[in-house]
Amino acid sequence: MALNKEFVGRVFGPGEPYEVSRVKIAEFADAIGEPSELCRDKAAAQRAGYPDVIAPPTLAIVIAMASTASMHSEPGLGLDYSMVVHGEESFSHSRPLHAGDVVVATTTVESIRAVGAMSMLVTSTDISTTDGEHVCTAKSTLVERGK
């Protein structure tokens, strides 16, 4: 099913604030095998100049996905998530996420286009603190494979 192009330009969020915790950072670092003590040891992170333990750069996807999930499940979009593979992803960080950050995410649908039997959905998610400081922009291209 083709995706609904009327979603282009729509903005989702900001959603509920997301609090970045030491536990989540350590869990994510463990899951990807990132060995750095800067993800686990507050004193080591502070010696390196950070306020608290820092997230690996791709942890931002957790917050971005939470922001896009509500859009993906909108029946009007027509997305079959089991047919989705990831096409491209990029992160642009103003600084690393750290434990104690309270952030909100806002997702904009940048484009929807059909390539043969596939649909490409491009979104951009801005992640900023609740004080308005930009932390990261995550840009995703999802590909819905044709049936």
- Contact residues: another protein, CB under 8 A: 24, 27-36, 38-39, 48, 50, 54-58, 61-62, 65-66, 81-93, 95-96, 139, 145
Tell me the C-alpha distance between 42 and 50, whole Å. 9
Q: How far is the CB of 98 from another protein (least distance, A)?
A: 8
Q: How far is the CB of 139 from another protein (least distance, A)?
A: 8
Q: For residues 5 and 24, which CB has a smaller minimum distance to another protein in the complex?
A: 24
Q: For residues 29 and 109, which CB has a smaller minimum distance to another protein in the complex?
A: 29
Q: For residues 92 and 130, which CB has a smaller minimum distance to another protein in the complex?
A: 92
DSSP states of 75-133: GGG---GGGEEEEEEEEEESS--BTT-EEEEEEEEEEEEEETTEEEEEEEEEEEETTS-
Tell me the C-alpha distance between 24 and 15, whole Å. 19
